[in-house]
Amino acid sequence: MTKITRREFALLTAGASLAAASGLPRPALAAGPAKIVIIGGGPGGAAVANRLKTASPGLDITLIEPKEKYTTCIRSNLYLGGFRSFKSITHDYAGVKRRGINVVTDTATAIDTAAKTVTLARASQPLPYDRLVVAPGIDFKYETIEGYSPEAAKLMPHAWQGGEQTWLLKEKLLALPDGGLVVMSAPPNPYRCPPGPYERACMIAHFLKTRKPKAKLVLFDAKKTYSKQAVFEEAYDEYYKGIIEINSTNEIDDFDVIKVDAKTGVVTTKAGRTERAALANIIPAQKAAAIAARAGLTEGDWCPVNPENFTSTKANDVYVLGDAAIANDMPKSAFSAVSQAAVVAADIIASLEGKPRVSGKYRNTCWSMLAPENSAKIGGDYVPATKDGKPYLEVKEPFVSQPGDSAEIRRQNNQESTDWYQTMVTDLFGEPPMKAER
Ligand code: FAD
C-alpha cells in the first residue's frame, strides 16, 4: 500500500463530499474486487474513475486513454485569445494513478459485450470487465465537407479536440499576416459545446483586434439560431464591429460549408459563396468516437442511454456518458459529463451490491468569454422524463445571461468560470490549485 499524502487525502475527501452531494453512496464495503474498465480519460471517464475509487477503494479500476497528457477543450478558446497558456490547459494522469487507478496508455480497438472483454491495440490479451464505461468523446464526419480530411485538418485545423489541433490553430493565428482573412465554419447540431464556436469567434476577434488589427474574421454557420445568441450578437457589435462578419443559414442564402481546398485556402458554402482564407478553422459535423459504433453501441451517430443512469440501451453492464451519449436536452459539455459521472459511479456500485438502481438528477453550466472580464453563462438542471412516450432527459429551471447584463454580473460570471475550471481539473487530475489563470 502506498502512503496517502495530506494533499491526496484532501482531494479524496473533497471527492467524497462531492459524491455525497450528488447522491453517491458512502464507501461501499461489499463491492469486492469487481473489474471496472473505463474507455476514455476525458472529463467523463476520469470523473467516473475518481468517484468510484473514492466511494469504493477496493474496486479494480482500469482507465484506458491513448494520450499521456490531456489538453482540455475547455478554456482552449481563451488560449487562442491570449488569456491562457497551453500548459495551463494540459494535464497528465500522475494524480489519477496516485489515487490507485490503473491508467493504461493504449487505445481500445474492440468491445465484446457478450464475452465482456475489451481489446487494446498493444496488449496481447483482451481485458475482462464486470462493468464497462465508454466515454470516448467525439469523432468528425469528414465526409460531409468535400476536401476535408484528417490530413486537410493539419492545414485547416478544427481544434475541436484538445491537444495538437489546439496548438496548431494558435500557431497559425500567430503566423497570420496582418490584413489576412480568417474563415471559421460552425458545425450543424448536435455537436460538442453548443456556445463554443461563438466564444471562439469572440476570442479570435479579440486576438486580431489586439495583435493583427487589419485582419478580419468571417464565420459561416450551418444554423440559423444558436446558444446564447443574443449576448454573442451584443458582444460582436460592442467589441468586434468591423472585425467579425457572421453569416448564418437563412432563406436568402445557405452558409453551410460544403467544400474546402486545404492547399489554396478556398472555402465554399452551399449557396456557392467562396472565400480564400489565409487561415481556415473548419469545425465539421460530429458523431460519437469510432469505438462506440464498432461495439454496436450507437443508433445513428450517437449512443442511446437510459436517462436515469446512462446505462447503454444496446448492451448489458455497459454505460456510455459524456459527448458520445444521447442526452436529449442536456448539452455535450464537460460540466454535463462530470455530472453524469457521479450518477454512473453510484449506479455501478448499486448494481454490484444488488441495491436499487439509481435515478439521477443532473446539472450543467456553460460559461463563454466574450471579452476581457466579461463572460456569459447558460445552464439548467436535467431530470429523467418521458417525451412522445419515450424516456427523455428534460431541462428544468433553465437560465441564460441576457444582453445588457451589468459589467459586475459579467465579471462575476468570468470569475465563476475560472474557479469552476480549477476545481474541476483538480478533482479530475489531482492537481494543486493554481494561483493564476496563466
Ligand atoms: P473527451 O473529453 O473527448 O474525452 C474522451 C477521451 O477518450 C479522449 O481523451 C480520447 O483520447 C479518448 N478515446 C477516444 N477513443 C478511445 C479509444 N478507442 N480507446 C481509449 N480512449 C479513447 N465544456 C464545458 O463544460 N465548459 C466549457 O467551457 C467548454 N468549452 C469548450 C470549448 C471548446 C472549444 C470545445 C471544443 C469544447 C468545450 N467544452 C466545454 C466541451 C468539452 O470539451 C467536452 O464536452 C468534454 O471534453 C466531453 O468529455 P468526454 O469525456 O465525453 O470526451
The yes-or-no verdict on residue 9 having pLDDT over 80 is: no
From the list 21, 30, 11, 13, the residue with the least C-alpha distance to 349 is: 30
CB 89 less than 6 A from any atom of ligand 1: no
CB 334 less than 6 A from any atom of ligand 1: yes
Average pLDDT over residues 403-423: 98
Average pLDDT of the chain, as a whole number? 92
Per DSSP bridges, beta strands 131-134 and 35-39 are parallel
Average pLDDT over residues 38-45: 98
The yes-or-no verdict on residue 30 having pLDDT over 60 is: no
pLDDT tens per residue, range 280-305: 999 999 999 999 999 999 999 999 99
Helical (H) or strand (E) element with 380? strand 374-387
Peptide bond into 433 cis (omega under 30): no
Helices (H), 187-333: 196-211, 229-239, 290-294
- Give me the pLDDT at residue 253, please: 87
Which residue's C-alpha cell is 488560449? 79
pLDDT tens per residue, range 394-409: 999 999 999 999 999 9
The yes-or-no verdict on residue 67 having pLDDT over 80 is: yes
**Spatial CB neighbours of 45, under 8 Å, sequence gap ≥ 6:** 38, 39, 63, 65, 133, 135, 136, 322
CA 34 vs CA 40, 135, 315, 317: distances in Å: 19, 19, 18, 12
CATH code for the domain defined by 147-284: 3.50.50.60
pTM beyond cutoff 0.75? yes
Domains 6-137+289-359+419-429 and 147-284 share a fold: yes
Domain ranges for the chain, please list them: 6-137+289-359+419-429, 147-284
Percent above pLDDT 70 for the chain: 91
CA of 2 to the centre of ligand 1 (A): 31
CATH code for the domain defined by 6-137+289-359+419-429: 3.50.50.60
**Ligand 1: which of 192, 199, 228, 297 to mutate, most ligand atoms within 8 Å of CB?**
192
CB 194 less than 6 A from any atom of ligand 1: no
d(CA 335, CA 105): 24
pLDDT tens per residue, range 213-235: 999 999 999 899 999 999 999 99
Average pLDDT over residues 96-101: 97
